[in-house]
A and B are shown apart, each in its own frame.
Chain A
Amino acid sequence: MLRCGRSISQRLISTSQLSAGQKKTETLPTPEEAGWAFNHVEKKKGLYKPKHNIEEQISYMKSKAYLDAYQGLPVHRSYKRNFKGQYMLQPPPRLFCIDKHGRFNVNHACPICRDEYLFFDFRNPGLILQFLQDGTVQPLDILKTGLCREQYNLLSAQLLKAKEHGKITFGVEFRNFDYRQYYPWWTEEPSRQVSRGGLTLPDIHPDPLIEFDAFKPETKTWWDQYWLRHDKFAKKGK
């Protein structure tokens, strides 16, 4: 019975995919018109993930449907892995959410696998940037993002690709030139070697801590001995 139900839903999905494909060839309707991004299937295990291209992904990420779904936050922000206990003790991330046949093998897929329009691609750097640490080109920790291993590896690969295609810029290290290497007639010594980020505020603005005299020096604290000699006093009392 269950299998039967699944096959029906699979067929449904596949037919909807076909019709979507036919529409794609004509003109690209807005996601709201096409009814995209409103997938009401809750349990996706065993179902196929529809395939979309990068243009559709970019237009989807600009659409109102996307804004409503994620509220302008990174797509992994509202995702919570289903595990029992504390964050530190969670099981290792799963290897993949979608198997080799393109079917979901879990119900609660990772934030990229669960959204039918999302996949990492260097041509859409906006999605990759959501998974980077603030102000760096380092991807976030895999457990923080909740991604599966497969998507995390794809993230690393596409990040590298985006850097090499100039889609994501980064701080290139500063190259110091010694002109004597390049011009035989140049005699001047090269100036100090510098590096980007090598300059710190304490270098420029040395601001050492000043040792002030104590306002209230500790004198006449002999009364504190009371507690050390408490036993003696207590005995006296007896």
Chain B
Amino acid sequence: MLRHGLFSRLHRLQALCQLHQPQSSSLRLASAWINPLISHVDPGRAQEVNAEKLFTSPEVQELLTKLTGADLQNKIFRSRRISTPQNRSHYALMTDERWEKTMERMQEEAQHFLQFIPLKEPRVETTETLIVDKEIAGFDKSKFVFTDISFDATDQDRTVVVREVDGSLRTATPEEHDRMNRVYYEKSNRPVVEPAVFSDPYLQDALDRNEHEFLMDWACMYFEVDDPKFISLSKTVYDRIIATKNFDSLYSTRHFGTLVFYLAINNNLPPLLNFFANLGQLSECASLVRLQKSLYPDWRLAIGSYDSDFKILQDYVKQNTRFKQELGDVASTDQSDVYGILKGVISTKLPTLRFNVTMTLDDCFCFLCQAYLHASWALNVNDGHILDELRNFTLFRN
């Protein structure tokens, strides 16, 4: 009875700690997901951001799912080195209709593998001192950790207490708690000591070999998602992806949503816009802008309900140059953004025109982009218009 009483008390205590962690909003600092090095959010606004709430809102989830993409062959169901040898390959002969049906089923299955990692703020590393027994101070040179390994305790609510050398008994820090879980309940690929690949010389080495997905998959399996180490590791990986513009390494994996959210919440869209533009996905670019505007709603910059994708993008680029001029930032970067977006869109929309074009396609882009930047007519064009203009232009040149 006494034992049960103690455990229930500890459980309640832990539950209380966990409850109080996110609610201490009066003292809360800016979200850990806002990185001042890449952020273009003004500090006052960044203070108010509740990243968890924003991430879980249905609209954001939907946009992130749309932006993630689903590349079955090269990403989701790509071949990986498995732990036990496979029995044998399976070959199936099917009709075209059957093949399409199978691919549809595969698409459905793939959606399960694109579940996002929950985005959490780092947990609070506080402990509660339960008893101070001065009589047994200095009984040993090392601490004693007591872990509840009874049948009904789960990894989350397991009681772990530490008897300090000075005789006080305290609840374990989350780090110690996780370590005890790893010690008593070992799983494959979850060693007690943190693997070397999560820290720097080997982290960079793995990233150089484009093993981003492997690294993040393992990290989310090894760490808890609210572990400060996991959050800093993900931010490091994302920052390096942004620095090298290597978005393809995580595209259409379960980590891409978090990466997009990280950039959107930091109001730093241009690198990702360029990435989608180079893929020629105008609607994805527009979704990205929608996402960013839903995170930081502003009635002056709101998207009209009938705006086309191109209009949304155009507005965003205009507003962004204005912001940058206001901020006194160098205007060279945003020009290249415009070029990149237009270049990507045009190059994919014009498979037929390419045969007629005698000059290089780059010349076309330059012409169109300059026209876009300097002439007022460009502010009202949509996709069709721009294509028409390009067609006229090429005819004229021929």
Contact = CB atoms under 8 A, between A and B. Distances in A.
A201 interface: yes
B130 interface: no
A167 B197 CA distance: 9
Interface stretch (A6-14, A91-99, A173-181): A173-181
A183 B53 CA distance: 9
Nearest to A196: B80
Given A169-B81, A201-B92, A182 B225 contact: yes
B114 to A, nearest CB: 11
B105 A165 contact: no
A204 to B, nearest CB: 5
Contact of A172 (B77, B86, B218): B218
A81 B117 CA distance: 51
Contacts of B59: none
Instruction: Indicate the size class of the contact surface on chain A.
Output: 35 or more
B109 A136 contact: no
B300 interface: no
Nearest to A191: B112
Contacts of A138: 83-85
A173 B52 CA distance: 25
A194 B113 contact: yes
A204 B118 contact: no
A26 B83 CA distance: 44
A100 B32 CA distance: 54
A237 interface: no
A204 B102 contact: yes
B235 to A, nearest CB: 18
Contact of A176 (B52, B98, B115): B115
B191 interface: yes
Contacts of B106: 204
Nearest to B81: A170
A175 B203 CA distance: 21
Interface string B193-230: 00111000011011000010011011011000110000
A165 B196 contact: yes
A180 B56 CA distance: 11
A172 B85 CA distance: 15
B73 interface: no
A211 interface: no
Given A135-B79, A164-B196, A204-B102, A173 B112 contact: no
Given A171-B80, A174-B217, 17 more contacts: A134-B85, A135-B79, A136-B85, A164-B195, A166-B195, A167-B205, A170-B82, A170-B83, A170-B189, A171-B81, A172-B189, A175-B220, A182-B120, A183-B118, A192-B112, A194-B112, A199-B109
A137 interface: yes
A169 B188 CA distance: 14
12 contacts: A135-B82, A135-B85, A137-B82, A166-B196, A170-B83, A172-B189, A173-B189, A179-B118, A182-B225, A183-B118, A196-B80, A199-B109
A208 interface: no
Contacts of B188: 173
A58 to B, nearest CB: 14
Given A176-B115, A186-B56, A204 B79 contact: no
A238 interface: no
A205 interface: yes
A75 interface: no
B60 to A, nearest CB: 13
B74 interface: no
B156 interface: yes
A168 interface: yes
A207 B115 contact: no
B311 to A, nearest CB: 33
Nearest to B22: A184
Interface string B44-82: 000000001100100000000000000000000101111
A142 B396 CA distance: 73
A226 interface: no
B3 interface: no
Contacts of B189: 163, 170, 172-173
B211 A166 contact: yes
B141 interface: no
A71 interface: no
B52 to A, nearest CB: 6
A53 interface: no
A172 B215 CA distance: 9
A197 B81 CA distance: 11
B94 interface: yes
Given A133-B85, A172-B189, A204-B102, A166 B117 contact: no
Nearest to A199: B109
A124 B107 CA distance: 38
Contacts of A172: 189, 214, 217-218, 221
